[in-house]
Amino acid sequence: MGRGKIEIKRIENSTNRQVTYSKRRGGIMKKAKELTVLCDAQVSLIMFSSTGKFSEYCSPSTTTKNIFDRYQQASGISLWNSHYERMQSHLIKLKEENNNLRREIRQRIGEDLEDLEIEELRGLEQNLESSIKVVRDRKYHVITTQTETYKKKLRSLRDEHAKLIRQLEGQAENGAYGLVDNGGPDYESALVLANGGVHSLHDTGFGIHDLRLA
């Protein structure tokens, strides 16, 4: 008996559908290659499965792009017009956004204000005031942080100075405090520390006004 006629309709079972697709894809690929070899035809075949898997075949004597170009010439249908139009529309939108941003920047520095209505001017004023507040808050934060840093440095220098003074006084009480004027930096440093260490603060870059921060 011959094979029964198969009804052509969508296969509901996903596994069976995928198996059938794989088998028939191989068959149509084979037919495309045979047409290329037997008939010297230029064939381009593109397929996507229901799961999105891409398959293609193109005759060795041509390329898919050449096939598309010949199709456009033969049919009079442009395949790229819609894509080009979308690109042009997107480019126009980007240019408009860029112009708006440039105009906003100019307005924020007091330029290009002639065409603004009173509500627009009020809105711009509010935005500028908000920006000034953010900048001012940041400035005060930086000042506070730097002030605290300077205070910590001053406290550290004072503690170190007091420690050195105590050491020198202890050596003097034990009779081991003797300075030899050899012209070296140790002799000069000891004199400075013994006289209150003022010079050391100048060497660190702090002045009298910095001492008021403590």
Domain annotation covers residue 48: yes
8-22, 44-58, 123-137, 163-177: least confident range: 163-177
> Within this chain, do residues 67 and 82 fall inside the same structural domain, yes or no?
no
Residue 2 lies in a domain: no
For the chain, give the mean pLDDT. 81
Per-residue pLDDT tens digits for 48-95: 998 899 999 999 999 999 998 898 888 888 877 878 888 999 999 999
| Domain shared by 60 and 86, yes or no | no
Residue 82's pLDDT is what? 79
> For residues 139 and 133, what is the distance between their CA atoms, to the nearest angstrom?
10
pLDDT exceeds 70 at position 160: yes
Residues 26 and 73 in one domain: yes
- The answer to whether residue 5 scores a pLDDT higher than 60 is yes
pTM value surpassing 0.75: no
Overall average pLDDT of the 175-201 stretch = 49
20, part of any domain: yes
Would residue 27 count as lying in a domain? yes
Q: For 157-175, what is the mean pLDDT?
A: 84
Domain ends where: 115, 143, 162?
A: 115
By residue range, what is the domain housing residue 85? 78-115
**21 and 63 assigned to the same domain:** yes
Q: How many domains does the chain have?
A: 3
pLDDT of residue 170: 81
In a domain, 143, yes or no: yes
- Could you tell me if residue 25 is inside a domain? yes
Mean per-residue pLDDT for 170-174?
76
Give 179's pLDDT tier (boundaries 50, 70, 90). very low
Q: Is residue 140 part of a domain?
A: yes
Q: Are residues 86 and 64 in the same domain?
A: no
Residue 127 has pLDDT above 70, yes or no: yes
pLDDT at 138 over 60: yes
**Same domain, yes or no, for 31 and 73?**
yes
Which pLDDT score, from 0 to 100, does residue 210 have?
43
Q: What is the pLDDT of residues 16-42, one digit of tens each?
A: 999 999 999 999 999 999 999 999 999
Are both 138 and 160 inside the same structural domain? yes
What distance in Å separates the CA atoms of residue 31 and residue 95, rounded to the nearest whole number?
A: 50
Residues 6+ apart with CB under 8 A from 192: 198, 199, 200
Stretch 134-155: mean pLDDT: 94
For the residues 144-170, what does the mean pLDDT come to?
Answer: 91
Give the domain CATH number at 59.
Answer: 3.40.1810.10
Q: Is residue 214 part of a domain?
A: no
Please tell me whether residues 21 and 71 are part of one structural domain.
yes
Query: What percent of the chain has pLDDT above 70?
Result: 79
Mark whether 45 and 73 lie in a shared domain. Answer: yes
